[in-house]
């Protein structure tokens, strides 16, 4: 144990991010926002490491620096309160139920809901740093005077405005850290971070602690410390106590390329504070790294020469060590920056056994990666006091110091984190820190992560959101059948429908109404979940059934559209079931009749597409009469009666806030690559009409947020007309507050770079044959590692790319079993299949 | 096509710098494997302890047999101790650190506590009871 360590609080004053110590040293503290980098994207990580190297090399003159990764509690309640401002009044009971329950259930599922914050502490002025020789001399004299006078006259105080002289230096330092976007802390934050060192693992009131410390800095370290367990300290703050263990990194692997230790630490599902104290090596001096390397080289040379003389037995280890020392000297001669650093992992818990278990888990995991983490039985007190943010390494610190180059040091991957989704939104799942497979056990994937993802689809097109790379409001959900895309889609539908927006779900599989009403009946019978019951009752379920006469013409273009829009759709639909090519006479007569009937409809007459065909049956040309008669026969008793009618019924209502529109009797092919049969072509025509209905729904009110969920959307991509309909809906987009959620099997269906109407948000579920395509679409480098990362996704997992350009693998978490039953799509009487 | 990951040749030098001194020959005769200087020191200490034990307690054992066994034990134990690291430190460094900790703080672990960097004695009152809860 290094007994030279100062155990006392030597902080005299704090102003903004500047900390004045008793000896006149001044430290500047900054918070560095974490760079969100995809966990699998090595290129992006390498670019960020190069940036970190560049910034750290610029602060070499300051000699020392500290990088701290500190877990701080997430204020979930504040975030949820913000979200609640957008709740729609008619469904707010369920919205509040979801917020309350998710708050409770998330807090129960993990020890602590926290996120890591990065801090950088740099000595702005100390006896080691000389910006100005005169200033340095003055500081030394002041310190000497203080040491001599203080025992005689009591504590010597500094001028109250001591910080004014250093604001220029602090500003200069801030500029040097610009690339990392480091933000100077304010006084309250600086006090809090310094006080937190003594409150690890203890429940405390932040405002009270900051206020007490601000009142007098004597309170900064007002925590008692005991060490009855040797390698585990106990902190006592009033009646609260916690156990604390400081585990230094004793050895790291010889080759530190892609070490990424700090990223791995963030993958554990409990908080681990990581403190890294670094000191740049001098070029000269007995204790400098080059001098140590020179001495080691002499030792190795002698040992190898002796070994050679003795027959060259067992020389491999020596040769490797010698090569490393030679490499170090070459790098030193090439002016590469060398440094030593002490890295300590801090574990804190109020439960002793839980703390011991956490330590065991981390030591095991680190040893698998060649990192030796030690319990430091004799050094706990030293590490506790040495690791305070305003203490620096010096020549007396010899244990646990790693020696490497600056490039090697940044391989730890500082200042990064994983995040995806919105800051304010509904909880949707957890980011998966594991890059391998969970072998179908998605529950384990959820339990192992504490990195939550929140989603709010309506943030996408808003302008005042920092960091967004696109305002494209559209969302694509892709993947093979059975991967979980329906489950995610329905959660997104639920969450969207709880906010102030009009929601439309196109359900061509006709699954939702039956299941929702079944659950409603069950809950009514049992008298449970009244919020869910009310919510289901608030949904306007519309079922378009060709056997129901009142549905005929509900999607008739002449009935629900006007003018050119109605005409274009009518032509497309007719052309799809009866090609107009080389039938100029019929085509011409059809257009004439169409114009006539559109005008009649405008005047309020009840006419529709079937009226047009019946009109053509009376045409003077036989060829036209035959074609029209054929079309009438095709329409009768088929699903086409939903789109071709005599105009006697009203179109589908678009006024309800939440609508689920299902169509029964659609014949959708099971594989989009199959050739379409006659009945599938008819179904396609109905989908065209639905597409136009969606366009109308999205463009009716520019100020009102509307969101359309288009399930089985790949059906539209089967033809050019279908693709153009999707594009039209998407173009409504941002300016008209319309959001499209496209659910499809292939990522190819999301490719629309040609007209710039792609998707701002993508959820890509597993797809056996499309790994490379998906990675390219998500702009993730295609490597063996990324392909394996994508292909090893288990059910319920997907890659989530948000509007900030962030991309992560998440596990969708159905936190509410009482809501999940709404999304069941498989009905069975079998009992032995679970 | 999938990209491959290149080695950046970035190293940690701690192990290479603290590699222990070894010798490969004894009186000009080559050894089968290099021997650490620290091994010689540990083996000598172990042998000394064994000899003291033998002299004090086990003198009834035949001298030849005893020294044959003692040398073997000293060799094996010396090797173990020379390679033994506790908490990332070689044995002597650990013992030195542990003793300085134990004599300053460890010995007082049940009756002292640190507050504001100052060691206070726990009195037999509610404070001690509070800490031991």
Q: Which of B16, B106, B113, B114 has the most A C-beta neighbours within 10 Å, making it the best mutation to test the interface with A? A: B16
Distance from CA of B33 to the nearest CA of A (A): 6
Whether residue B11 is contained in a domain is answered as no
The whole-number pLDDT of residue A462 equals: 75
Q: Per-residue pLDDT for A250 more than 50?
A: yes
For residue B109, give the nearest of A228, A254, A289 by CB distance: A228
Closest in B9, B88, B120 to A251, CB measured: B88
Total domain count, chain A: 3
Whether B92 and chain A come into contact, CB under 8 Å, resolves to: no
Cβ of B4 and A783 within 8 Å?
yes
Spell out which residues of chain A touch residue B114, defining contact as CB-CB under 8 Å.
7, 224-226, 381
Report the b/e string of B98-132 with b at 16+ CB within 10 A. bebbbeebbebeeeebbebeeeeebeeeeeeeebe
Residue of B1, B28, B87 for testing the chain A interface, max A β-carbons within 10 Å:
B87
The whole-angstrom distance between B55's CA and the closest CA on chain A is: 35
Q: How far A757 CA sits from the closest chain B CA (Å)?
A: 27
Residue A665, pLDDT score = 81
Percent of chain A exceeding pLDDT 90 equals 55
**What pLDDT digit, counting tens, does each position of A168-205 carry?**
889 999 999 999 999 999 999 999 999 999 999 999 99
Q: Please identify among residues 25-44 of chain B the ones whose CB lies closer than 8 Å to any CB of chain A.
A: 25, 30-34
- ipTM > 0.90, yes or no: no
Residue-range definition of the domain harbouring residue B24: 19-131
Is position B58 within any domain?
Answer: yes
Residue A152: its pLDDT value, please? 59
* Segment A287-310 mean pLDDT: 82
Whether B116 contacts A198, CB under 8 Å: no
Q: Which of A416, A449, A470 is the last residue of a domain?
A: A416
pLDDT at residue A361 in the model: 96
Residue A429 has pLDDT above 60, yes or no: yes
Let me know whether A269 and A187 are in one domain: yes
Mean pLDDT of A22-40: 91
Average pLDDT estimate for A85-105: 94
Rounded to an integer, the average pLDDT of B30-59 is 85
Closest residue, chain A, to B37 (C-alpha): A303
pLDDT recorded at residue A827 = 61
CB contact under 8 A, B109 and A230: yes
Which chain B residues touch A252 with a CB distance below 8 Å?
A: 12, 14
Taking an 8 Å cut-off on Cβ atoms, the answer to whether B14 and A251 are in contact is yes
Return the higher-pLDDT residue of A135 and A23.
A23
Is B63 touching A (CB cutoff 8 A)? Answer: no
Give the model's pLDDT for residue A379. 92
- Of A90-104, A429-443, A817-831, which range is least confident? A817-831
Is B109–A227 a contact, with Cβ atoms under 8 angstroms apart? Answer: yes
Assess if residue B121 is contained within a domain.
Answer: yes
Q: Given an 8 Å threshold on Cβ–Cβ distance, is A385 in contact with B117?
A: yes
* Contact yes or no for B87 and A378 at CB 8 A: yes
**C-beta atoms of A223 and B115 within 8 A:** yes
Residues A523-549 have a mean pLDDT of 92
pLDDT digits (tens, 9 = 90+) for A738-763: 899 999 888 887 776 554 558 899 99
The model's pTM is 0.84
| pLDDT score at A833 | 47
User: Do A434 and A447 fall into the same domain?
Assistant: yes
Set of chain A residues whose Cβ sits within 8 Å of the Cβ of B23: 303, 306
Residue A244 has pLDDT above 90, yes or no: yes
Which one of A416, A437, A459 terminates a domain? A416
Residues of A in contact with B98 (CB under 8 A): 1, 377-378
> pLDDT-derived band of residue A303, with 50, 70 and 90 as boundaries?
confident
How many other CB atoms sit within 10 Å of the CB of residue A376? 26
Q: What is the pLDDT of residue B109?
A: 86
| Shortest distance, CA A413 to any CA of chain B (angstroms) | 14
CA distance A354 to chain B (A): 17
Does B84 reach chain A within 8 Å, measured CB to CB? no
Would the CB atoms of A313 and B4 count as touching at under 8 Å?
A: no
Nearest by CB to residue B13, choosing from A236, A404, A782, is A404
Q: Are A348 and A241 in contact (CB under 8 A)?
A: no
> How confident is the prediction for chain A on average, in pLDDT?
88
Contact A239 B130 (CB under 8 A): yes
Q: What is the mean pLDDT of residues A708-736?
A: 78
| pLDDT for res A550 | 86
| B 94-113 residues inside an 8 A Cβ radius of A | 94, 97-98, 100-102, 104-106, 109-110, 112-113
Cα separation, A40 vs A27, in Å, equals: 36
Domain annotation covers residue A774: yes
Residues A719 and A755 in one domain: yes
Interface test with chain B among A250, A310, A412, A774, by most B beta carbons within 10 Å: A310
Q: Find out whether A56 and A198 touch, Cβ atoms under 8 Å.
A: no
Residue of chain A with shortest Cα separation from B1: A782
Q: Average the pLDDT over A274-291 and give the result.
A: 89
For an interface test with B, the pick among A4, A252, A378, A791 (most B C-beta atoms closer than 10 Å) comes out as: A378
Using CA coordinates, name the residue in chain A closest to B22. Answer: A303
Answer whether residue A579 is part of any domain: yes
Ramachandran angles phi, psi of A183, nearest 5°: -115, 125
CB spacing of B4 vs A407 below 8 angstroms:
no
In this prediction, residues A622-641 reach a mean pLDDT of 91
Q: Which of B12, B15, B97 sits opposite A379 (nearest CB)?
A: B97
Is B65 within a domain? yes
pLDDT digits (tens, 9 = 90+) for A473-529: 999 999 988 888 899 999 999 999 999 999 999 888 888 999 999 999 999 999 999
A542 and A606: one domain? no
Average pLDDT over residues B75-83: 89
pLDDT of B116 strictly over 90: no
- A378 → closest Cβ in B2, B97, B109: B97
Q: Which of A592, A621, A642 is the last residue of a domain?
A: A642
- Asked if residue A536 is part of any domain, the answer here is yes
Q: How confident is the model at residue A135 (pLDDT cuts 50, 70, 90)?
A: low
- A656-690 confidence digits (pLDDT tens): 899 999 888 878 666 555 677 888 888 888 888 88
A596/A501 same-domain check: no
Are A805 and A694 contained in the same domain?
yes
Q: What is the mean predicted confidence (pLDDT) over A347-355?
A: 95
Listed in sequence order, the DSSP H helices in A244-288 are 261-266
Chain A CB contacts of B34 below 8 Å: 303, 306-307, 310, 313-314, 318
Residue B127 counted as domain residue: yes
pLDDT for B56 beyond 50: yes
Which of A265-269, A290-294, A686-690 is predicted least confidently? Answer: A686-690
Query: How many CB atoms lie under 10 A from the CB of residue A117?
Result: 17
> Please, which pLDDT band fits residue A156 given cuts at 50, 70 and 90?
low
Q: Is residue A236 part of a domain?
A: yes
Of A702, A699, A703, A701, nearest to A730 by C-alpha is A699
Examine residue A470 and state whether it is found in any structural domain, yes or no: yes
| Same domain for A251 and A187 | yes
CB contact under 8 A, A325 and B104: no
Looking from the CA of A543 toward its CB, the CA atoms found within 13 Å total: 12
Q: List the single range of A205-214, A645-654, B27-36, B121-130 with lowest mean pLDDT.
A: B121-130
Q: Number of structural domains, chain B?
A: 1
Specify if A155 maps to a domain: yes
Of A42, A248, A782, the CB nearest to B5: A42
Looking at the fold, whether A406 and A466 belong to one and the same domain comes out as no
Residue B126 lies in a domain: yes
Between chains, do A1 and B97 touch, taking CB under 8 Å as contact? yes
pLDDT digits (tens, 9 = 90+) for A451-461: 999 999 888 77
Residue A582 has pLDDT above 80, yes or no: yes
- Alpha carbons B109 and B115: distance in angstroms, whole number: 14
Q: Report if residue B91 sits inside a domain.
A: yes
What does the pLDDT read at residue B123?
Answer: 73
Residue A145 pLDDT = 67
3-state helix vs strand vs coil in chain B, percent to 5: 50, 20, 30
Q: Buried b / exposed e across A344-354, counting CB within 10 Å, b at 16+?
A: bbbbbbeeeee
Model confidence at A648: pLDDT above 90: no
A62 vs B58 pLDDT, higher one? A62
Contact A440, A59 (CB under 8 A): no
Note whether A6 contacts B131, CB cutoff 8 Å.
Answer: no
Q: What is the mean pLDDT of residues A768-796?
A: 89
Q: Which chain A residues have a beta carbon less than 8 Å from that of B30? A: 309-311, 313
Q: Are residues A178 and A46 in the same domain?
A: yes
Contact A223, A235 (CB under 8 A): yes
Q: With a cut of 60, say whether residue A834 has pLDDT above it.
A: no
Q: Is B16's CB within 8 Å of A3's CB?
A: no
- Reduced to 3 states (helix: H, G, I; strand: E, B; else coil), residue A89 is helix
pLDDT tens digits along A399-408: 899 999 999 9
Nearest to B110 among A228, A408, A783 (CB): A228
The strand pair at A64-73 and B22-26 is best described as unpaired
pLDDT at residue A609 above 80? yes
Q: Do A472 and A523 have their domain in common? A: yes
Q: Which structural domain range is residue A125 located in?
A: 11-74+115-282+337-416
Q: Let me know whether A722 and A617 are in one domain.
A: no
Q: Do B114 and A408 touch (CB under 8 A)?
A: no
Q: What is the DSSP pairing of strand B112-115 with strand A224-226?
A: antiparallel
Question: Does the beta carbon of B56 lie under 8 angstroms from any beta carbon of chain A?
Answer: no
Distance in angstroms (rounded) separating the CA atoms of residues A799 and A759? 14
Q: What is the mean pLDDT of residues B48-74?
A: 88
CATH number, position A775? 3.40.50.300
The two three-digit tokens of residue A111, written as one number? 């020890």
Look at A5-14, B79-88, B116-125 and tell me which has the smallest mean pLDDT: B116-125
Provide the percentage of residues in chain A whose pLDDT is more than 70.
92
**Which residues in chain B have their CB less than 8 angstroms from residue A318's CB?**
19, 22, 34
| Total residues belonging to chain B | 133
Measured between beta carbons, which residues in chain B are less than 8 angstroms from residue A396? none
Q: Is residue A95 part of a domain?
A: no
Three-state helix/strand/coil letters over A296-358: HHHHHHHHHHHHHHCCCCCCHHHHHHHHHHHHHHHHHHCCCCEEEEEEEEEEEECCHHHHHHH
B3-12 tens-digit pLDDT: 567 889 999 9
> B47: which residues sit within 8 A by CB, 6+ positions away?
B70, B71, B74
Query: In this structure, are A749 and A791 located in the same domain?
Result: yes
**Chain A / chain B CB contacts < 8 angstroms:** 200
Which of B4, B106, B113 has the CB atom closest to A225's CB atom?
Answer: B113
Assess if residue A89 is contained within a domain: no
Nearest to B17 among A257, A296, A785 (CB): A296
């Amino acid at each position: 144990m290094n007994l030279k360590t100062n155990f006392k609080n030597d902080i005299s004053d704090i102003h903004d991010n500047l900390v004045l110590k008793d000896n006149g040293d001044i430290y500047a503290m900054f918070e560095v926002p974490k760079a969100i980098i995809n966990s699998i994207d090595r290129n992006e990580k390498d670019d960020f490491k190069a940036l970190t190297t560049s910034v750290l090399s610029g602060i070499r003159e300051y000699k020392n620096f500290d990088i701290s990764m500190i877990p701080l509690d997430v204020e979930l309640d504040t975030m949820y309160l913000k979200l609640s401002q957008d709740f729609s009044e008619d469904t707010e009971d369920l919205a509040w139920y979801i917020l309350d329950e998710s708050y409770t259930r998330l807090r129960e599922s993990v020890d602590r809901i926290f996120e890591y914050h990065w801090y950088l502490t740099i000595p702005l002025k100390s006896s080691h740093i000389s910006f100005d020789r005169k200033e340095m001399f003055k500081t030394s004299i002041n310190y000497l005077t203080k040491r001599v006078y203080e025992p005689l006259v009591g504590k010597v105080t500094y001028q109250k405005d001591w910080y004014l002289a250093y604001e220029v230096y602090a500003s200069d330092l801030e500029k040097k850290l610009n690339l990392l976007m480091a933000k100077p802390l304010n006084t309250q934050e600086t006090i809090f971070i310094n006080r937190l060192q003594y409150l690890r693992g203890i429940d405390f009131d932040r405002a009270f602690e900051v206020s007490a410390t601000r009142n007098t800095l004597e309170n900064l370290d007002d925590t008692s410390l005991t060490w009855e367990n040797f390698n585990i300290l106990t902190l006592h703050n009033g009646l609260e106590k916690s156990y604390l263990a400081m585990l230094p990194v004793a050895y790291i692997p010889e080759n530190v390329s892609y070490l990424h230790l700090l990223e791995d630490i963030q993958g554990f599902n409990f908080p681990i504070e990581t403190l890294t104290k670094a000191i740049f090596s001098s070029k000269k001096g007995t204790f400098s790294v080059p001098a140590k390397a020179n001495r080691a080289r002499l030792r190795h040379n002698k040992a190898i020469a002796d070994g050679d003389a003795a027959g060259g037995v067992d020389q491999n280890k020596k040769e490797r060590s010698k090569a490393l020392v030679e490499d170090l000297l070459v790098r030193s001669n090439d002016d590469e920056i060398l440094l030593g650093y002490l890295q300590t992992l801090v574990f804190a818990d109020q439960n002793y056994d839980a703390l011991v278990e956490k330590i065991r888990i981390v030591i095991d995991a680190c040893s698998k990666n060649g990192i030796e983490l030690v319990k430091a039985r004799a050094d706990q007190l030293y590490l506790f006091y040495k690791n305070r943010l305003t203490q620096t390494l010096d020549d007396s610190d010899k244990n646990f110091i790693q020696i490497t180059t600056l490039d090697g040091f940044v391989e730890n991957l500082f200042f990064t984190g994983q995040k995806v989704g919105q800051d304010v939104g509904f909880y949707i799942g957890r980011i998966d820190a594991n890059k391998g497979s969970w072998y179908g056990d998605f529950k384990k994937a959820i339990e192992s992560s504490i990195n939550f993802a929140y989603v709010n689809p309506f943030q996408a097109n808003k302008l005042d959101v920092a960091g967004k790379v696109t305002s494209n409001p559209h969302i694509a959900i892709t993947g093979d059948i059975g991967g979980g895309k329906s489950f995610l889609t329905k959660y997104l539908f639920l969450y969207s429908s709880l906010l102030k927006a009009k929601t439309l779900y196109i359900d061509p599989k006709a699954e939702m109404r039956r299941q929702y009403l079944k659950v409603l009946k069950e809950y009514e019978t049992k008298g449970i979940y009244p919020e869910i019951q009310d919510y289901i009752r608030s949904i306007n379920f519309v079922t378009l059934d060709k056997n129901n006469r009142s549905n005929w013409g509900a999607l008739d273009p002449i009935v629900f559209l006007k003018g050119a829009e109605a005409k274009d759709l009518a032509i497309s639909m007719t052309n799809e079931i009866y090609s107009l090519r080389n039938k100029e006479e019929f085509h011409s007569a059809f257009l004439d009749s169409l114009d006539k009937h559109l005008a009649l409809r405008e005047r309020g007459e009840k006419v529709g597409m079937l009226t047009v065909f019946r009109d053509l049956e009376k045409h003077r040309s036989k060829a036209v009469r035959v074609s029209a008669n054929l079309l009438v026969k095709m329409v009768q008793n088929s699903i086409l009666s939903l789109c071709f009618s005599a105009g006697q019924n009203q179109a589908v209502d678009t006024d309800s806030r939440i609508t689920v529109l299902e169509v029964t009797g659609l014949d959708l092919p099971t594989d989009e690559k199959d050739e379409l049969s006659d009945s599938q072509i008819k179904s396609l025509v109905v989908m065209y009409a639905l597409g136009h209905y969606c366009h109308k729904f999205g463009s009716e009110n520019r100020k009102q947020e509307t969101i359309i969920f288009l399930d089985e959307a790949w059906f539209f991509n089967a033809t050019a007309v279908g693709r153009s309909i999707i594009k039209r809906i998407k173009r409504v987009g941002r300016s008209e507050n319309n959001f499209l959620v496209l659910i499809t099997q292939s990522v190819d269906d999301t490719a629309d770079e040609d007209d710039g109407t792609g998707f701002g948000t993508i959820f890509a579920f597993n797809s056996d044959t499309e790994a490379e395509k998906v990675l390219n679409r998500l702009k993730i480098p295609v490597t063996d590692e990324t392909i394996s990362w994508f292909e090893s996704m288990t059910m319920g997992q997907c890659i989530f790319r948000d509007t900030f350009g962030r991309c992560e693998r998440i596990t969708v978490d159905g936190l509410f079993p009482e809501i999940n039953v709404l999304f069941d799509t498989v009905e069975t009487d079998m009992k032995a299949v679970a | 096509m999938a990209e491959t990951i290149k080695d950046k040749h970035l190293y940690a030098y701690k192990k290479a710098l603290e590699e222990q001194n070894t010798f490969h020959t004894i009186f000009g005769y080559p050894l089968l494997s290099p021997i650490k200087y620290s091994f010689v020191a540990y083996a000598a200490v172990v042998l000394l302890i064994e000899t003291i034990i033998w002299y004090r307690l086990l003198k009834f054992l035949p001298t030849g047999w005893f020294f044959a066994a003692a040398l073997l034990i000293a060799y094996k134990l010396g090797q173990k101790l020379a390679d033994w690291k506790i908490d990332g430190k070689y044995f002597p460094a650990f013992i030195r650190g542990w003793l300085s900790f134990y004599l300053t703080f460890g010995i007082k672990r049940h009756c002292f506590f640190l507050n504001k960097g100052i060691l206070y004695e726990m009195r037999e009152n509610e404070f001690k009871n509070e800490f031991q809860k």
